[in-house]
Amino acid sequence: MSDFLLFSVDFISSLFIVVIGVGALVVIYFYIADRRQHKHAIRHNYPVIGRFRYLFEKQGEFFRQYFFAMDREEMPFNRAERSWVYKAAKNVDRTLAFGSTRNLESTGTIMFMNCAFPTLAEDAVEPSPITIGEGCQYPYTTRSIFNISGMSYGAISKPAVRALSHGAKIAGCWMNTGEGGLSPYHLEGKADIVFQIGTAKYGVRNQQGHLSETKLKEIAAHPEVKMFEIKMSQGAKPGKGGMLPGCKVTAEIARIRGIKEGEDSISPNGHIDVRSVGDLLDMIAFVRQTTGKPVGFKSVIGSLEWFDDLIAEISARGVESAPDFITIDSADGGTGAAPQPLMDYVGLPLKESLPLVVGRLRQHGLKERIKVIASGKLITPSKVAWAIALGADFVVSARGHMFALGCIQALQCNKDTCPTGITTHNKRLQEGLDVGDKTQRVANYNKYIHYGLGLIAHSCGATNARDLDTQHIRIVTENGLSVALDELYKHHK
């Protein structure tokens, strides 16, 4: 019996050693395989351990109701929204079964009204082209409704900018540089570019922080640069300038921006040369005359007194003095680092500001002259369709395209520790972001936004997505019943 026990102990010990050895070989294999692949940034940057993310994500579908948040509960973007973007970017099945998890009874819920005779395929047309800045020397015409919002090189990484640039070219949409200046990586893909002039005027400033006519002409000389956007404020931090931590200010970024390497890049709260609506129109006129290209501005809408003053000043100077476009940013955050009090409490959300601005432009006969671009958490076709129905001519998104690049909402954007390599300059973490793979994902995402937008439009009986209007939407009120959006916003018209 003792011999048998000894044999058993020896056998178990040997078996245990074999299992440990095989396990070690498997771990080594997975480590090498993960490091050599570039399709999944998390697995590349965190070999072996990163695989657990996909396991937990998959199991979450089954155990979420007991241990994790439900599909529609997370903020700032819930699991259902992120999942749709991931699937669209990867070009995999985006259909659902067994009913929607969306609550159709909560106040503020929007519902598109399908018609009895939807638009047939042979009746449908692609989005009609819109020209911005018709009176400019170089007006800009595009069919793309959904475009890439401002993300500076510095705030996001080199491979992220490259993938967005190439993806935008394939998709036929524009890409906004953000306030960090124009880098070679923005130009690499030959996509249409909107150059953003922030309060620090990075890339187009002189030593005193004012606009440089020479540098403006240098930027405008690039054929890819189609428009200029003057950033007055952004949704993440209305009333405060851009914030780039010194740990993200590399030598190259410092050179592009015209600042010192390794020091915090803090933009002024506002433009030092724009203190009134007259100053703003003067700056728009100067940039437009210098570059020959359309010029507009971006702002979070809060107090409307200044906007009424702007319209009055345009009326006094003449319609040709008007901005060629206005980008309305929602007050519910953005990609940039920001103080929480500003992100949480300052400015109007897009559901209020967009109809207020559009209504005023229509009232004064300026809606055709000034194109409206909507920005703020519009990352799915339904949200884009809603903005178009409220009067936007275009929609731009930054965070939606970050999800297309592989963002997992780790909320590390401002810390140079982004695990997917999107918002970090850590070379090791950037290795997981394969430009070729992410380029196609960006293009896929844009494609299926437009496809989904078309589905909604055709269901409502419109032949063109741009024909969507407030009459096509109802919104749930406090009593649980819905009213027509057209009726709700009639006082804004």
Do 373 and 475 belong together in one domain? yes
Do 150 and 260 belong together in one domain? yes
Boundary-marking domain end, from 42, 68, 94: 68
Instruction: Show the low-confidence residues of the chain (pLDDT under 70).
Output: 1-11, 57-77, 96-99, 235-242, 333-345, 490-493
pLDDT of residue 250: 83
Do 317 and 182 belong together in one domain? yes
pLDDT of residue 74: 60
pLDDT of residue 269: 79
Do 294 and 430 belong together in one domain? yes
Do 46 and 155 belong together in one domain? no
Boundary-marking domain end, from 68, 89, 120: 68
- Tell me, yes or no, whether 277 lies in a domain: yes
Instruction: Note the Cα 11 to chain centre separation in Å.
Output: 60
Do 54 and 164 belong together in one domain? no
- Tell me, yes or no, whether 73 lies in a domain: no
Do 38 and 186 belong together in one domain? no
Spatial contact of 357 and 420, defined as CB atoms under 8 Å apart: no
| Maximum pairwise Cα distance, the chain | 107
- Tell me, yes or no, whether 155 lies in a domain: yes
pLDDT of residue 483: 86
Do 217 and 314 belong together in one domain? yes
Do 175 and 47 belong together in one domain? no
Please state the domain count of the chain. 2
pLDDT of residue 11: 62
Instruction: Note the Cα 183 to chain centre separation in Å.
Output: 19
User: Dihedral through CA 477, CA 478, CA 481, CA 483, nearest 10?
Assistant: -20
Do 17 and 148 belong together in one domain? no
- Tell me, yes or no, whether 75 lies in a domain: no
pLDDT of residue 65: 42
Closest to 41 measured CA to CA, from 386, 405, 423, 412: 405
Q: Distance (Å, rounded) from C-alpha 398 to C-alpha 176?
A: 9
- Tell me, yes or no, whether 99 lies in a domain: no
Q: Distance (Å, rounded) from C-alpha 19 to C-alpha 351?
A: 59
Q: Where are the alpha helices (DSSP H) in 296-349?
A: 305-317, 340-345
Boundary-marking domain end, from 46, 68, 90: 68
Q: Distance (Å, rounded) from C-alpha 261 to C-alpha 154?
A: 12
Q: Distance (Å, rounded) from C-alpha 361 to C-alpha 357?
A: 6
pLDDT of residue 460: 92
pLDDT of residue 264: 78
CATH number for the domain spanning 239: value is 3.20.20.70
Spatial contact of 291 and 217, defined as CB atoms under 8 Å apart: yes
- Tell me, yes or no, whether 125 lies in a domain: no
With vertex at residue 328, the alpha carbon angle to CA 256 and CA 246, rounded to the nearest 5 degrees, is 30
Do 62 and 149 belong together in one domain? no
pLDDT of residue 66: 42
pLDDT of residue 446: 95
Characterise 48 by phi-psi region: left (phi > 0), alpha (psi -120 to 50), beta (else). left
pLDDT of residue 322: 97
pLDDT of residue 340: 67
Spatial contact of 30 and 48, defined as CB atoms under 8 Å apart: yes
Do 144 and 237 belong together in one domain? yes
- Tell me, yes or no, whether 153 lies in a domain: yes
Spatial contact of 420 and 433, defined as CB atoms under 8 Å apart: yes
- Tell me, yes or no, whether 89 lies in a domain: no
Residue-range definition of the domain harbouring residue 305: 130-492
pLDDT of residue 413: 75
**Length of the chain measured in residues:** 493
pLDDT, tens digit (0-9, with 9 covering 90-100), for 19-78 = 888 878 888 888 888 888 888 888 888 888 888 777 776 666 555 544 555 555 566 667
